[in-house]
A = this chain, B = another copy of it.
Amino acid sequence: MPAWFWLVPLASVLALGAAYFFFSQMMKESEGTETMARIAAHVRAGALAYLKQQYKVVGIVLASLTAIFCVLAYVLHMQNPWVPFAFLTGGLFSGLAGFIGMRTATFASARTANAARESLNHGLRVAFRSGAVMGLTVVGLGLLDIAVWFFVLTRFYSIDDAHHVVIVTTTMLTFGMGAAVQSLFARVGGGIFTKAADVGADLVGKIEAGIPEDDPRNPATIADNVGDNVGDVAGMGADLYESYVGVILASAALGAAAYFGAGAEVQLTAVVAPMVIGALGTLLSVVGVFFVRTREGASAQQLLASLGRGVNGSAVLIALLSLAVLSLMGVPNLWGVWTALVVGLLVGITIGRAAEHFTSQGYAPTQRIAGSSKTGPATVIISGLGEGMLSVAVPVAAVGIGTSLAYFAGSGWQFTTDTMNLGLYGIGMAAVGMLSTLGITLATDAYGPIADNAGGNAEMSGLPPEVRERTDALDALGNTTAATGKGFAIGSAALTGIALLASYIEEVKIGISHVLDRGNEFFFPDGSSVVPGSGDALQELGLMEMMARFEVVLVNPKVIVGMFTGAMLAFVFSGITMKAVGRAAGQMVDEVRRQFREIPGIMAGTSDPDYARCVEISTRAAQREMMVPSILAIAAPVLIGVLFGVPGVLGLLAGAAVTGFSLSMFMANAGGAWDNAKKYIEEGHHGGKGSAAHRAAVIGDTVGDPFKDTAGPGLNILVKLMSMEAIVVAGVTVAIHLV
């Protein structure tokens, strides 16, 4: 085991320790008045109740899939015996990351509001520390899972045998699938919950009754605040846990394939390198978070600047230090691998900047959308859809150029397919570079919903308006960092998606060798075959050769049908989740209207609305509506695999990745731009709050809610889940086509 590996568990323990430290620091703060504590307790209880329901559903799904994997592994011997367990830990840890983040956030909201009563400065510190708990928990648990499994598996497989290293790394990809299943339910269920409540509350409260957001007279307001926690916090935590673990494991697997014949030491170094970079970034994140924290007496302005310094400083430091560490580790193709890493960082920053350009009220696109509100809601929607569609140009170009450069650098400065595995390892390392400082970027991302909830708490507790203004300022800052964060998540998913195509082929090879081990000859679609005993010859087959034998070329109808299906799934999945939000929001509107009608004292403030009923509606809707899209996502790779084999599956993954990237970018940016176009008008442009333009912009914002927070992020996970799952069931796909 390379000595540098031990940095991984070390960073994990430090990150989790720091997270615990920040958590207990935050818990020492006061929750404020009795009303504030009571409201926070309501939200906390609602969030916990929902999450219990969600985990029940996910638990059943995870248990069923684990049972299936046990049958495949122990009864049919089609799969590696570690798969069921790896799958399960991925699912559990992903859920745990979301749960811890959510608990922290629900404890933090009243405390942030209370701190904001004192000063913006204090409010920011409490919110940011709570965000850091989530950021560091996600990376800490991720590295822990990786370190433990790598340690355990390398006890059972020889790290001197190149085949074994490949088996170890591809087995570990299985817990990526567990995490993906968990995060799918968390994102889709949480996304439906939060947007049903948000849209429903806005439609009746802001548009019909003319009361402000988070007004305690609005029956859906508690549900809305619960939604922020279960969707934006727990959902995002599970999602990014999966992304983080996914890119590191994919790169490790690519490293094992790329340096297959280069000797055990070189191969192992390439495998461990992405883990070590992750650990290094985590250590820098911990330092960065502490660095932000130390400026106790600074002004708000300075604190914001120092927050930026924390994030940017970590990025610059990882770029510099990683060169030193990779060099000390003796990574092969040092400059190439390092360049790929830096390219990944730059692509992430470019995508984030582009997202900011297309969604922030400081730039032309959002201002144009705001301007189009003068001619009513229809033109707001048309221009938002138009700007959103246009906004995919820069991210796709960045990913295209980044992919090419990383491939070029990774394959030793050439752009041919002779060194394809090396090039793909470069692409994987670019994805690792992009997510290396996730600990701190997620911290600056996760505190947004906390500030949002603090604002809700302040409003409902009747705190003076300046408190709400402060929490709004924190929330607005969070929107900008969130745009960058989303850019990193979507960009890394695209790069990982590309890289995982190669991992799939590696897993197919393992599946074929299982077939050979059982004494069967294996026939490729092109008519060639491998016979039992020729396992070594099989391993020698390059990626291009495997693609040729499986005929994974663009004119093969199996590939084409797979691609069309992948693209279609991206749209259908988004359509189902959009419809779910629309339907659930409609129920919410009916319920709120009913309460306004039947409970007479609500608008006068003399009687309380029935908050719990609204929470229940969102919970039931989320539970019911997350099943169909999840089953679709899980079933598709298996079905296509059975019908069209390896070429069909690769077509499916490529089609979904290619369409899903543009579609989710479009939805995320359109939604963000509508949100901020509304804020731009609220700042006093085009007539300001209450004008016809503002009413039109609120409609745009409402349409954007499920776009950016339900369908968009869900799509991202759909693509990753299908890739991970295809890899896990590759052996089965191969075995079935033998029959």
Contact = CB atoms under 8 A, between A and B. Distances in A.
Interface of A: 199, 202-203, 207-208, 372, 374-379, 381-383, 385-393, 396-397, 399-400, 403-404, 407, 415-418, 420, 423-424, 427, 494, 498, 501-502, 505, 525-527, 543-544, 547-548, 551-561, 563-568, 570-572, 574-583, 585-586, 589-590, 650-651, 654-655, 658-659, 661-663, 666, 699, 702-703, 706-707
A578 B396 contact: no
A556 to B, nearest CB: 6
A355 to B, nearest CB: 15
A382 B706 contact: yes
Contacts of A415: 557-558
A61 B340 CA distance: 42
| SS class, residues of chain A in contact with chain B | helix
Given A374-B586, A392-B568, A400-B564, 10 more contacts: A375-B589, A383-B582, A385-B707, A404-B561, A526-B544, A543-B555, A547-B555, A554-B559, A567-B661, A658-B659
A150 to B, nearest CB: 26
Contact of A375 (B427, B560, B566, B586): B586
- Number of copies of this kind of chain in the complex: 2
A-B pairs, 7 with minimum CB distance: A389-B575, A386-B578, A390-B575, A386-B579, A396-B568, A378-B702, A547-B553
8 contacts: A203-B379, A382-B706, A417-B525, A420-B556, A552-B553, A655-B658, A659-B659, A699-B699
Contacts of A581: 382, 386
B378 A699 contact: yes
A574 B392 CA distance: 11
Given A382-B703, A568-B393, A553 B555 contact: no
A265 B385 CA distance: 54
A727 to B, nearest CB: 14
A224 B169 CA distance: 63
A389 B400 CA distance: 26
Contact of A654 (B396, B505, B547, B560): B560
A390 B579 contact: yes
A433 to B, nearest CB: 17
Given A383-B579, A579-B387, A703-B381, A658 B563 contact: yes
Nearest to A643: B404
A580 B379 CA distance: 11
B382 A582 contact: yes
A565 to B, nearest CB: 6
B416 A578 contact: no
A666 B666 CA distance: 14
Contacts of A396: 564-565, 567-568
Nearest to A565: B400
Contacts of A375: 203, 585-586, 589-590
Contacts of A417: 525-526, 551, 556
Contacts of A416: 525
Contact of A553 (B404, B548, B703): B548
Contacts of A578: 382-383, 385-386, 389
B702 A554 contact: no
Given A543-B555, A553-B544, A381 B382 contact: no
A423 B557 contact: yes
B555 A378 contact: no
A614 B626 CA distance: 49
A692 to B, nearest CB: 10
Contacts of A661: 564, 567
Nearest to A692: B208
A217 B203 CA distance: 35
A518 to B, nearest CB: 25
A418 B527 CA distance: 9
Contacts of A582: 372, 379, 382-383, 386
Nearest to A563: B658
A386 B576 contact: yes
Contacts of A390: 571-572, 575-576, 579
Contact of A658 (B391, B392, B544, B658): B658
From A393, A551, A560, A561, name the one whose CB has the most chain B CB atoms within 10 angstroms.
A560
Contacts of A383: 578-579, 582-583
A590 to B, nearest CB: 8
A407 B389 CA distance: 34
A34 B525 CA distance: 73
